[in-house]
Amino acid sequence: MIHTYAYKDVTWVDLENPTPDEVREIMGKYAIHPLAAEELLLPTTRSKVDTYDDFIYLILHFPAWKHSHKENTQEVDFIIGKKFIVTARYDTVDALHKFAKMFEVNSILKRNDLVGKHAGYMFYYMIREIYHSLHDELESVRDSLDDIEKKIFRGKEREMVFEISDASRELLSFKHATSLHEEVLKSYAAASEPFFGKDYGRYISAMQNEHLKVNKTVIGLSETLSEMRETNNSLLETKQNKIVQTLTVITFITSLVAIFIALLQLDAISRPILGRPNDFWIVVAIVVIATGLMTAAFKRKKWF
């Protein structure tokens, strides 16, 4: 599916799950090199930057959050010419959808905020919007970690093991998806300055700063999650040790009681208590009193 947005001299063509016919149409209209056009048809696993005479070709991967997408990452291909930009994607990218709405509003209001003199400016605003979207998702992860922390100290350590694992997997997926962004943006900087001019350098720096902010947030959340996991494991281990200690004390007490009862059952000539009036209740009383005394003694020593 092709979506086309235009304002003044700059055009944005957004391809969603492009077909061969749609790619050929774009290829002929914007003089796209066959090698670049071929790569638009299928997603690829690696991010990269290729420089052609009339455009710069980028592939970037972004994390896809499990609550709204089936895959862990989303690929977006960018073909950036002087007066046009082509994006190809194979899933719904929420940030690009939002950017399209912003672009339409700016076009209606005759504002030039998202365009500038060439398509490089539009690419900058696209990337900025995507990184802002990623940062919002990370803030959602931060809220989840705050909730996990509260539950840990409410005594729900066992349940939090699974929630911590889910959060860890989400952050690892994020790191994997954005691991090559720094190198790709450096390559884009080297290619775009001679293509768009030196004045474009500050926009490149702004893109790199947006990525740096996201990257620092990921690192901070990962460190918080690591400390939270250690705390949860320590509390869980302490609780398990307490349970084992309690069971050990209970086993010791019941063992002593069982030994006492077994001694009374020995076939001996002299067996005190047995044979006397109310011998059963005397034995029961001795067992209850002995158990109570041992329990009180162990509690005083805080063994359970």
Q: How high does pLDDT run on average in the chain?
A: 80
Query: CA 217 to CA 235: how far, in whole Å?
Result: 27
**Which range has the worst mean pLDDT, 69-83, 216-230, 236-250?**
236-250
Residue type, 299: K
**pLDDT reported for residue 71:** 63
Instruction: Please check the confidence at residue 45 and state whether its pLDDT lies above 60.
Output: yes
What average pLDDT score do residues 193-208 get? 87
Q: How confident is the model at residue 109 (pLDDT cuts 50, 70, 90)?
A: very low
Instruction: Please check the confidence at residue 283 and state whether its pLDDT lies above 50.
Output: yes
Q: How confident is the model at residue 155 (pLDDT cuts 50, 70, 90)?
A: confident
Q: How confident is the model at residue 57 (pLDDT cuts 50, 70, 90)?
A: very high
Q: How confident is the model at residue 273 (pLDDT cuts 50, 70, 90)?
A: low
Query: CA 93 to CA 213: how far, in whole Å?
Result: 21
Structural domains of the chain ordered from first start = 2-236 (3.30.460.20), 240-300 (no CATH)
Query: CA 217 to CA 135: how far, in whole Å?
Result: 8
Residue type, 284: V
